[in-house]
Homo-oligomer: A and B are copies of this chain.
Amino acid sequence: MKSKRVAVIGASGYSGEELVGLLLRHPHAELTAVTSRQYTGQTLAQVFPKFAGHPLSRTLRFSEPKTEVLARQADVVFLALPHGVAAEYAVPLLEAGCVVIDLSADFRLKSAERYREFYAHDHPAPELLKKAVYGLPEIYREQIKKALLVASPGCYPTGILLPLIPLLKAGLVKATGIIANALSGVSGAGRKVEPDYLFCECHDSARPYGVPKHRHLSEIEEQLSFAAGGPVVIQFTPHLIPIHRGILTTLYLAPEKHFSTEAEMKSLGEEIAAVYARAYGKEPFVRLLDGPALPDTKNIVGTNVCEIAWRLDRRTGRLVVMSAEDNLLKGASGQAVQSLNLICGWPETAGLI
């Protein structure tokens, strides 16, 4: 298989670090550059001792993020940068002929207006919003294969969109009244050195935050609208819990059909199972749970898998869908590598199992 040269800009955050780990072990990608202002000049092994077993980690040094240099060093460039910073790197890299896979939120929206509503300033490169492909391979696989700019989804959106999109597309659940209650491990906040993320502030702590309007709602609702064929507004409550990695999402949905009898519930259940089987039965990174099993973050941490289970509740007439994923893998870097594999024509699972 033909290898490609890849670079990571912003390789010292949690997502960047995870991405570097994946690329070091990747059978076809050749990691040629990693950038970090803070660590410029140090080797990967010096900054991240856990990578020291990879020979490359002892020679590859962090460099300054200069796009003209990077464009000569790499065919594909990952941007693992804070929101708002990624755009200024994407433009020159694309112009120089690189493929760009962006892990920030900068290119995830199609609508520049919606961007302004949620981010409170104009988008710096609105013409690119149209060209960017939303990097959720289970939904946009064919588009990703041909993409020059991939906007890789965030962790909360992934855990909500994967379970919801097939149900909305099939018209099984109402597009109104959707509630998403999400629990996130602390690495979801990134490597932020702030009091809120100190060990002693998180260790015995379970707490909601960003209630009621979280920024990620913008991309979640836009994608749900595409699936539902009309505007979707959801209730989303993120919580921080004391795990390192992992997101557990519980979705409360209203099926279109009533199911007050045992028979109606059985029939609706079969429809749901069929929709999910069709959507994800052959997906390597979506695991539909059978029997009494429910999603559990410990079963997906360290993997690129999103677990999904669901229950119909005859007492309330609702469908409860639950998902679990590793926020740093399927919710960030693993998913970005999935896109890389698609773009390069490699097996989609390369470097991911």
Contact = CB atoms under 8 A, between A and B. Distances in A.
A112 interface: no
A241 B246 CA distance: 12
Contacts of A239: 183, 248, 250
A302 interface: yes
A282 to B, nearest CB: 12
A84 to B, nearest CB: 22
Contacts of A193: 193-195, 198
Given A252-B252, A320-B211, A243 B204 contact: yes
A208 B295 contact: yes
Interface in A231-253: 233-235, 237, 239, 241-246, 248, 250, 252
Given A53-B305, A250-B181, A287-B52, A206 B296 contact: yes
Interface residues of A, number: 74
Interface of A: 14, 25, 49-50, 52-54, 177, 179, 181, 183, 186-187, 191, 193-195, 197-209, 211-213, 233-235, 237, 239, 241-246, 248, 250, 252, 284-285, 287, 289, 293-303, 305, 307, 311-313, 315-316, 318, 320, 322, 324, 353
The 3 A-B pairs of least Cβ separation, nearest first, read: A212-B313, A199-B202, A207-B296
Contact of A242 (B195, B203, B234): B203
Residue of A193, A204, A248, A299 ringed by the most chain B CB atoms within 10 A: A204
Contact of A298 (B53, B186, B201, B320): B201
Contacts of A52: 287, 305
A284 B55 CA distance: 10
Nearest to A349: B53
A39 to B, nearest CB: 12
B244 A200 contact: yes
Contacts of A212: 311-313, 315-316, 318, 320
Residue of A50, A177, A213, A294 ringed by the most chain B CB atoms within 10 A: A50
Given A203-B242, A213-B315, 6 more contacts: A52-B287, A54-B353, A198-B199, A204-B246, A205-B243, A242-B243
Contacts of A245: 204
Given A49-B307, A211-B320, A287-B53, A297 B203 contact: no
Contacts of A50: 298-300, 303, 305
Contacts of A202: 199
Given A242-B242, A320-B235, A49 B205 contact: no
Given A212-B313, A305-B53, A200 B181 contact: no
Given A234-B316, A318-B235, A320-B237, A203 B302 contact: no
Contacts of A297: 204-207
A325 B287 CA distance: 31
15 contacts: A49-B289, A49-B299, A181-B250, A187-B200, A198-B198, A199-B203, A199-B244, A203-B298, A204-B244, A204-B245, A204-B246, A205-B298, A207-B296, A212-B318, A212-B320
